[in-house]
Amino acid sequence: DQQVKQNSPSLSVQEGRISILNCDYTNSMFDYFLWYKKYPAEGPTFLISISSIKDKNEDGRFTVFLNKSAKHLSLHIVPSQPGDSAVYFCAARRAFGGSQGNLIFGKGTKLSVKP
Amino acid sequence: DAGVIQSPRHEVTEMGQEVTLRCKPISGHDYLFWYRQTMMRGLELLIYFNNNVPIDDSGMPEDRFSAKMPNASFSNLKIQPSEPRDSAVYFCASSFNTYEQYFGPGTRLTVT
């Protein structure tokens, strides 16, 4: 049972345009959401996060939106740059329960930004 | 800070051999996580520690896998005996207060 889903395995965008990566979750106990970026042969790198009490968090070119009623979050990259080409993972943290500390990851979306 | 350090970066071994993967978390972090990444299953949590104590090992695939954290600066993951289906990239991550986790570069394990 996949609690965090990234339904698009890949996305291709032109340089300078907006990239929108989507993520859906099923567990209403999640209270904190994160996006990670991963380049080949490297570990995932933390990018941006959002608490469930907010609906938007912005950091430079990156903005994360959270729609709790739809159990949906998205990452917007504006403008997209070729260096943004990577695999992006969505992750969620449980607020309570036996596994409070761990993150549940989606399977990732490979973003390709073309010059 | 040097970040999370993992060794070795690559490991090639024969089926049946013991494999030991090592991790040094970021100083001051109180959580340590071991993940495995495969094409089929993506990034899956194997086990995590809080203040050196294992909290959840439900992701450990079977008894062939074990992990320890003898002190705040070191953890290892052992596979004994190793099998070809254990081939994957193994990541270690650490965090402070269960928020953002910081990953190491990973160990690519190949079992032939």
pLDDT digit string, tens, across residues A29-80 = 898 999 999 999 899 999 999 999 999 999 999 999 999 999 999 999 999 9
Which residue has 């970026």 as its token pair?
Answer: A37
Q: What is the model's pLDDT at position A99? A: 55
Q: How many residues does chain B have?
A: 112
Checking if the pLDDT of A86 tops 80, the result is yes
Q: What is the mean pLDDT of residues B32-37?
A: 94
Tell me the chain A residues in contact with residue B31 when contact means C-beta distances shorter than 8 Å. Answer: 101
Q: What is the model's pLDDT at position A101? A: 63
Q: How far is B64 from chain A (nearest CA, A)?
A: 22
Q: Who has greater pLDDT, A5 or A101? A: A5
Query: Chain B residue with minimal CA distance to A51?
Result: B99
Question: Is residue B107 a contact partner of residue B35, using CB atoms and an 8 Å limit?
Answer: no
**Cα-only R_g, chain A:** 14
- Count of C-beta atoms within a 10 Å radius of residue B34: 24
For residue B97, the one-letter residue type is N
CB < 8 Å from A in window 39-68 of B? 42-45, 48, 50, 55-56, 58
Choose among B48, B99, B103: nearest Cβ to A32. B99
Question: pLDDT averaged over chain B?
Answer: 93
User: Is the CB of B105 less than 8 angstroms away from the CB of A42?
Assistant: yes
Cα torsion B102, A2, B43, B23 to 10°: value is 50
* pLDDT interval class at B99 (50, 70, 90): confident
Q: What is the mean pLDDT of residues B42-66?
A: 91
- Count of C-beta atoms within a 10 Å radius of residue A112: 14
